[in-house]
Structure 1
Amino acid sequence: MTTTVSRSTESATSRYDALLDRLDLEAKVALLTGAAVFTMAGNVDIGLAPMNLSDGPTGVRGLKFSGGREVTLFPNATLLSASWSTETAREVGRLLAEEAMVQDVSVVLGPTINLHRSVLGGRLFEAYSEDPLLTGRLAAAYVEGLQASGVGACLKHLVANESETDRNSVDSVVDEATLRELYLLPFEIAIAESDPWSLMAAYNDVNGQAATEQVHVNNEIVKGEWGYDGLIMSDWFATKTTAASANGGLDLVMPGPHGPWGEALVAAVRAGEVAESVIDDHVVRVLRLADRVGKLGEPRALPTDLPTPDSPVRREQLTRLAAAGMTVLTNDGTLPFAAGPEAPSVALIGRLGLQTTLMGGGSAQVNPPYQVSIAEGLGAVLGDRLTVTDGVEVRSRPTPAGADVLRHPETGEPGVQVEVLAADGRVLDVRAASSASGMVGFDDDYDVPATGVRFIARSALGGEVELGGTGAGVWTLAAGDQQHAFTLTSAGGIGAVMLAPPAELRRTMLHEGDLIEATVRLETADGDNPLAGVGLFSLVLRPVPTPLEQVLGRAAAAARAADVAVVVVGLTEEQETEAVDKATIALPGDQDALVHAVAAAAREAGRRSVVLVNAATPVLMPWRDEVDAIVWIGLPGQEGGHAVAAALTGAIEPAGRLVTTFPAADGAAPAWEVVPTDGALAYAEGTAIGYRGHFSGTVDGPVAAPAFWLGHGLGYADWSYDAVAGDTSAVRVRVTNTGSRDSREVVQVYYAPAEPGQPVRLVGWTAVEVAAGASAEVEVVPDARLWRRWDTAADAWGEPLTDGELLVARGLGDVRARLAV
């Protein structure tokens, strides 16, 4: 069921004013701070119902940060955007709206439209791309799909929030031209083309002023120049002040019920520090949002016949969406390979083949009904033609013990019993879970504070194992006839407590079936430990790691014995996560050594080798020329293994195009640093990030050629371009599929200005599906906003750029034609 929701009208505005007149100052201010962690306050006297918000980069998690209901896990944002398809983005928005309506969620906190400035950014996996036009157009389509069903979108994070290091205090120093032409452009495009109903202000400062207090950005540009009538909320715990943030364009402080507004804001109004008209504007924006999502006045009926997360319709959608965005980086003809009786023998090698990374960390995490690994997916299409060999360790932090190593103490089913404890020892909650993980103190709804967690299970492993826990607290652990006690502490902020908890592991002997009971309690809250009331804990149980030489030997033997060796390498939620940036784009652990060993063994035996890169963001590939094909598979969601199988066998063409330029080495990029100096992070490269700087250079000179350009992707066909003609109003080209398979091409047009200091930029693209041997006429209409330039002296948009070239390309590493402008 779809409900079309129109923009607010003048009559609606009058209605909001009338409702406003019925509220006193205290009642108005009460609506401007959340009622709970993910809920906005209501007011029964004016018919305003509470509104539920939910994180939503890769699924609508709901109102619990951890341990919530089972929901659909979608492919990550960079994988979805690799389709370069507004139709795909619109479909994802529509599906997320369905997921939201099932849970009575009014606003999905997405999409993330910050740019991939530095490839070290930990949160890049949930943002679309390094390009503002691609990002803005995809975001607009996503918003359209979401809001067509009456569920609000929330563009985030406004603005210059491209890294995670010191994210609550870093000052992003960005000149006005760069801010206007690059980092604000995705927001401008999405607001102009889709009218998102809310925005989220970032954690960081911008040019010395907090994003939650940005008079210039929030009031002068967004609400002023752009005429935005929606609501601007804070990121969670981002608001630091009372009057400055209220005057700086922030409309809503999240979460609640506590925060810097409330009684302090009432007092600021009465002291003359904040005009009551400012409060009125904030409240009207809250009412407008509520009206749009059906929470003001007569409640809107929600559909009841929507697909469940494990339904056949969701399985088809998720498999198709993930496979279509996967990107063939290199291929000598090894791919695709046949399925069924004609399939080659395939050796799947690598830890990530068995434990595939299907989502990133932080607010993007959800609780899916199942997760399909690559081993499971390939096994379903190859049967006994597939062998599976574990690889090297890919993590530095241990993960929660799961159903593969634990059995419920009473039922014997795979899984664990999790108990939430009060300070007096009372059990507040008991649940059976598939993973030994639990959180307290963040979004609890118990009558008394939760202060600890107990995990009870039986071991499915025997022999020497690694046993321990993660999470800051006081641990006692009993396993079989052994007792362990230890205390873990965290020196980081709430992000580190929740997303990078400390760990301790001990080697011990267990028998299969031994009872394991682990209890962890928060340390007593005091002035020295203000975060002692929040904890994320997990029990860890895993086999002792195998020596590297033995792992590499087994992998090489498997490669020699099969027709095709498929090695899976990549990243995990340790690197692809909120709150933490990377220090390198090299693969963690000994994964490069694994690929070298497999490639050498396959080559010596006359076999083929394929590498799957299970990562959302760029990695270094020192073995690139040693293997026969490389496919970037992103973080493909709960149907990931089935999607990989469909892509490798050609059941669904992996027709993706890169959304981030892959540097050839650490540091070999126009913008690299994510660690602030004296609290400031200078965006000194200006607008020349990513492909722009690689192609045109930066203020500091030329930049090394990348390993792979934005827009690169081979698919399973070859293409010729001819009859290229046009100008800045439209570019026309005939493309011919010279391959043997039907395929999809993405025709890209870039503008290279003649003016020094103005980098190349993507100005448009068009995708087309063409049968093998056939041709198609393609038209690309460049976006006029990419010819603008900001005149800093005049503090206004100046004369547009005029001279230069239009480049018709399959990524800037494969330019097919040039047109003079």
Structure 2
Amino acid sequence: MKYKELINKMTLEEKASLMSGKDFWQTQDIERLGINSMFLADGPHGIRKQKEAADHLGLNASIPATCFPTAATVANSWNEALGEKVGEYLGEEAVAQKVNVLLGPGINMKRNPLCGRNFEYFSEDPYLAGKLAAAYISGIQSRGISACVKHFAVNNQEERRMSIDTIVDERTLREIYLTAFEIAVKEGGTKTVMSAYNMLNGAYTNESLHLMRTILRDEWAYDGVVVTDWGGSNDRVSGLLAGNELEMPTTAGETNKEIIEAINEGKLDEARLDECVDRLLELIFTTEEVFNTPLRDFDVEEHHRLAQQVAEESIVLLKNEDDILPLRKDKKVAVIGDFAKEARYQGAGSSIVNPTRLENTLDALEETGLVSIGYEPGFERYGKKNRKKMAKACALAKQADVILLYIGLDEVTEAEGLDRQSMAIPENQIELLHALHEVNPNIVAVLSCGSAVEMPWIGKVKGLLHGYLSGQAGAKAILRVLSGEVNPSGKLAETYPLQYEDIPSSKQFPGKEVSVEYREGPFIGYRYFDTANVNVLFPFGYGLSYTTFVYSDLKVSKDGIHFNITNTGDTAGMEAAQLYVGCQSEKIFRPKKELKGFAKVFLSPGETKTVTISFDDKTFRYFNVNTNQWEIEEADYKIMIGASSADIRLTATHYVEGTGAPLPYEREKLPTYYSGKVAKVSVEEFEQLIGRKVPVSTWDRTKPLGYNDTIAQCQYAKGCFARFAFRSITFAHWFLRKIGKRSTANLIMMSVYHMPFRGIARMTGGIVNMPMLDGMLMIVNGRFFKGLRHVLRERKKMLRATKGND
């Protein structure tokens, strides 16, 4: 241990105190030993350090910071260097605000497009997500502080996220849901990892010895700190045994006592606690060094310019019929859509950033030289129909040469803690689009949302530009692409299906009660669509340009590939070339192709460049469940270079020697997986895949409610008070939505409805402790007066103890 001498000076109580927060965002300090608090802050795409009382939901305003495009947006840039630059600037701003640990990036897979937090995640592909995450981490940590990659792992739905049990086979877990984390740890060198709320195959992630010790510590040799998601600790001692050092936020010393008791009773070895203290001290001391030098404010304008550059390179041109784009300067443009006046530029929840400045489309129009004949909102932002606004928009549209129609998803549709109900954009926006098309078919739609949407209306637009959630400078960036000042180079980091039902996980999303089954196995995103030959609206890696590129001269060696790209158009531009690999053997089921490398190059008109992409340890591997390790199958592999997963420009065959491992599967027992057509996998075949019985996925309504049951389950409670409370909550949610207070209604669902009872103690900073919670559960389970007496008695005990400590 590095800090053995210092640890030997600590009392057991002091060691235990370091394992949980001092308050909502700070770690505990020990003044007599010179151990200072660390400050942790949200920051996947901008620092959120709150001015006033801290909370996890973003209710209180934060100190102004640059709001960069979200991860879902930056992933479309396919540019690691750009990601590293964003990380550097995030690190600078964190240092300026005295933040030791920046809670990001988030790298969970986009298993299903309805996950409410997809805007915070990079991709449906683990290789792309991992490489971009590693770039972010390198940039952040180059400034002397720590990044915190999250949420480890398989946190792919928001509904019931604090208690849902994810059932997934080991191979899929390793290949799809852990690979990005592996890259973040091994290549990015992240100093901190955040454990997820959910369970994984029957164990909470922060208590999972398999996940936290076998994989993270032993296989990946991770020696950094693991922190719980806020309120995500279930059993504190079990978490510590698994190597989850830091519990956040504070529990006012309650769980410290649990650690001390466990050591005194011989359930926990003090040496194990010392290991955790040592790792935490390393994080504290290494991240506070930067604060020993005079701190400088960051350059607000320089950071704003980078936010604009990132947005410009991440915008995706999806349709350009009749070359309607770029817009000519002499065209009369009508600007329509509420999002043009008030940009949808970031997500909602814990990642909300208070921007240093915010570009506005209407203000920035003049700078682009486009001739605007006026603006109309056209629709109500939150879905209410308004015929007058639609009529005014149509009247304006009649006078224009081209309509710029700003549409998308609102802030309360995509939010932390909630999953989307459908892939559609609001009906009132679609009705407006149809009405506008009747009076003027020259429509360019500008889409703003953080995840994939259905587009049955796409035939009604000639141009479609997807800005995703493009940050504080996004409005100007979009206009520069529309006007041709910038040549679009973004490519989709996720597949856009024709309809939601085409998604293989659509029947198993989200898990509603106890568990969610990942029956599709490794076939998510393009891996499924390409293998099962299912048509899509836009394939993974797709994006148009104002120029054209030709690929040629592919050469394959044992170390990698070389090929040429030529810009055959008359406009300078960037191209994101993608390397896919497909095993030609059919002995082990695998996707038809998988991304194994990419490169983005800038080319002037007529210019040719040679692109080199090296093979690495992930190019040909698969996880063998028999040998319980990564193996390589001896076979011919198809090497594919594409402009997207569906637009393969160059191919070659490459033979690879294998590791000689035994076959992991019996083909006749897994016919659906060998076909790749996994939209309907029977429970029997899924059990063959995971090698055990699938647990019962529904609540046992006969048992008393306990710590890990949710407030929602009060509808089945024995206590009439609990059932009344449940009905009150559901009525309040319905009523708030009815009167238009959708953000407040969302908070009820996120912070009350799906909250496990233990969360009441874990998230209240010591106001409610676990003995008081025992009394609450007595009330819920039908023993009202006994429970009430218990709550009051334990409350008095806690207050007396607090006064005694003072």
Q: TM-score range by the shorter chain?
A: 0.7 to 0.9
1:315 aligns with 2:304: yes
In structure 2, stretches of 5+ residues that fail to align are 655-806
Report the CA distance between 1:169 and its aligned residue. 0.7
The structure that is strand-richer by fraction is 1
Secondary structure in structure 1 of the residue aligned to 2:427: coil
- In structure 2, the residue matched to 1:8 is none
Structure 2 CA distance, aligned partners of 1:351 and 1:656?
Answer: 24
Tell me the residue number matched to 2:22.
Answer: 35
Structure 1 stretch 725-734 or stretch 298-307: which is displaced more? 298-307
Alignment partner, residue 568 of structure 1? 406
Shift of residue 594, structure 1, vs aligned partner: 1.8
Structure 2 match to 1:70: 64
Aligned-pair distance for 1:555? 2.4
Paired residue secondary structure (1:784): coil
Match for residue 293 of structure 2 among 295, 301, 315: 301
Distance of 1:728 and 1:623 partners within structure 2: 47
Residues 270 and 635 (structure 1 numbering): CA distance in 2 closer, same or farther, change over 3 Å?
same
Aligned partners of 1:34, 1:92: CA distance in 2, in Å?
Answer: 28
Match of 2:563 in 1: 733
Give the 3 Å change call, closer, same or farther, for CA 278–569 of structure 1 in structure 2: same
For the 8 Å contact 1:141–1:194, the answer to whether it is kept is yes
| 1:34–1:40 CA contact under 8 A, matched in 2 | yes
Match of 1:558 in 2: 396
Q: What does residue 619 of structure 1 align with?
A: 453
- The answer as to 2:549 corresponding to 1:680 is no
DSSP 3-state at the match of 2:537: coil
1:635-650 aligned within 5 A: 635-650=469-484
Partner of 1:452: none
> What residue is the counterpart of 1:327 in the other structure?
316
Tell me the CA shift for residue 356 of structure 1.
1.5
User: What's the CA shift for 1:597?
Assistant: 2.2
Q: C-alpha displacement at 1:275, in angstroms? A: 1.1
TM-superposed CA distance for 1:267, in Å, is 0.8
Contact (CA 8 Å) 2:164, 2:513: kept in 1 or not? no
Q: Which of 703, 717, 721 is equivalent to 2:547?
A: 717
- SS of 1:79's partner is helix
Q: CA deviation at 1:563?
A: 1.5
Cα distance, 1:259 vs structure 2: 6.7
Tell me the equivalent position of 1:370. Answer: 357
Counterpart position of 1:747? 577
- Choose 141-150 or 715-724, whichever is displaced more: 715-724
Give the corresponding residue for 2:721.
none
Structure 1 residue aligned with 2:622: 789
How far apart, in 2, do the equivalents of 1:211 and 1:285 lie? Answer: 19
TM-score (norm 1): 0.76
Which residue, 753, 761, 764 being the options, matches 2:594?
761
Q: Distance in 2 between matches of 1:651 and 1:45?
A: 59
1:391 to 339, 359, 378: 378
* In 2, Cα distance between equivalents of 1:337 and 1:575: 31
Structure 2 distance, partners of 1:280, 1:351, is: 56
Counterpart CA distance in 2 for 1:385 and 1:293 is: 50
Give the letter aligned to residue 381 of structure 1.
T
Q: How far apart are residue 384 of structure 1 and its match?
A: 5.5
Q: Which residue of 1 aligns with 2:233?
A: 239
Distance between the aligned counterparts of 2:545 and 2:357, measured in 1? 29
Amino acid at match of 1:18: E
Change (3 A) 1:646 1:681: same
Partners of 2:482 and 2:595 in 1: CA distance: 30
Q: 2:209 aligns with which of 203, 211, 215?
A: 215
How far did 1:245 drift? 1.3
Which residue, out of 629, 637, 641, partners 2:463? Answer: 629
Residues paired across the two proteins, number = 642
Matches within 5 A, 1:187-586: 187-258=181-252, 261-294=255-288, 300-307=292-299, 311-332=300-321, 333-338=323-328, 342-382=329-369, 385-395=372-382, 547-548=386-387, 550-586=388-424
Specify the SS of the correspondent of 1:689. coil
Q: CA deviation at 1:303?
A: 2.9
Amino acid at match of 2:381: V
Which of the numbers 431, 442, 447 marks the counterpart of 1:593?
431
Q: Of 47, 62, 65, which residue of structure 2 is paired with 1:60? A: 47
Name the SS for the 2:77 alignment partner.
coil
Partner of 2:700: none
Structure 1 residue 378: Cα displacement: 2.3
Tell me if 1:773 matches 2:606. yes
**1:671: how far off?**
2.5
> What does the per-residue CA deviation read over 1:334-368, in whole Å, with 9 as the maximum and x for residues that have no partner?
11124xxx342111111111222111000110222
**Offset at 1:652?**
2.5
1:507 maps to: none
How far apart are 1:557 and its partner, in Å?
Answer: 2.5
Give the TM-score normalised by structure 2. Answer: 0.77
* Residues 377 and 243 (structure 1), Cα distance of their counterparts in 2 relative to 1, 3 Å cut: same
SS in structure 2 of the partner of residue 108 of structure 1? strand
The Cα of 1:103 is off from its aligned counterpart by 0.8
Matches within 5 A, 1:163-202: 163-202=157-196
Letter in 1 for 2:304: R
**What is the aligned counterpart of 1:651 among 474, 485, 501?**
485
Q: Describe the shift of the 1:107–1:62 C-alpha distance in structure 2 as closer, same or farther (beyond 3 A).
A: same
Deviation of 1:257 after TM superposition, in Å, equals 4.3
CA shift, 1:758, in A, is 0.2
Residues 384/657 of structure 1: CA separation in 2 closer, same or farther (3 Å cut): closer
Percentage of identical aligned residues:
30
Q: State whether residues 66 and 304 of structure 2, in contact with CA within 8 Å, keep that contact through their aligned partners in structure 1.
A: no
The 8 Å contact of residues 567 and 611 in structure 1, kept in 2 or not, is answered as yes
Deviations 1:589-637, CA, capped at 9 Å, x for gaps = 321222222233223xxxx221111111111111222321111101111
- RMSD of Structure 2 on Structure 1 (CA): 1.8
Q: Report if the CA contact (8 A) 2:191-2:283 is conserved.
A: yes
Distance 1:299 1:764 in 2: 38
Deviates more, 1:63-72 or 1:787-796: 63-72
Against the structure 1 CA distance between its residues 801 and 259, is the aligned structure 2 distance closer, same or farther, given a 3 Å change threshold? farther
Unaligned runs of 5+ in 1: 1-12, 397-544
Q: Deviations over 1:492-530 (max 9, x none)?
A: xxxxxxxxxxxxxxxxxxxxxxxxxxxxxxxxxxxxxxx
Q: Hey, what's the Cα distance between the residues in 1 that align with 2:304 and 2:575? A: 26
Distance 2:269 2:257 in 1: 15
Deviation of the 1:312 alpha carbon: 2.4
Deviation at 1:654, TM superposition (A): 2.3
Change (3 A) 1:800 1:25: farther
Task: Tell me the CA shift for residue 294 of structure 1.
Answer: 2.2
CA distance in 2, matches of 1:138, 1:728: 25
Amino acid of the structure 2 residue aligned with 1:51:
M
| C-alpha contact (below 8 Å) 2:80/2:132 kept by paired residues | yes
Does the aligned pair in 1 maintain the 2:72–2:450 contact within 8 Å? yes
- 1:225-272 per-residue CA deviation (whole Å, 9 max, x = no partner) reads 111010000000010112211112211000014376211111111111
Give the whole-Å Cα distance in 1 for the aligned partners of 2:273 and 2:417: 32
Work out the CA distance in 1 between the residues paired with 2:381 and 2:179: 37
Decide which structure has greater helix share: 2
- Distance (Å, rounded) in 2 between the aligned partners of 1:259 and 1:216: 28
Amino acid at match of 1:552: M
Q: Secondary structure of the residue that 1:645 maps to in structure 2?
A: helix
- Aligned-pair distance for 1:804? 3.2
Who is 1:451 aligned against? none
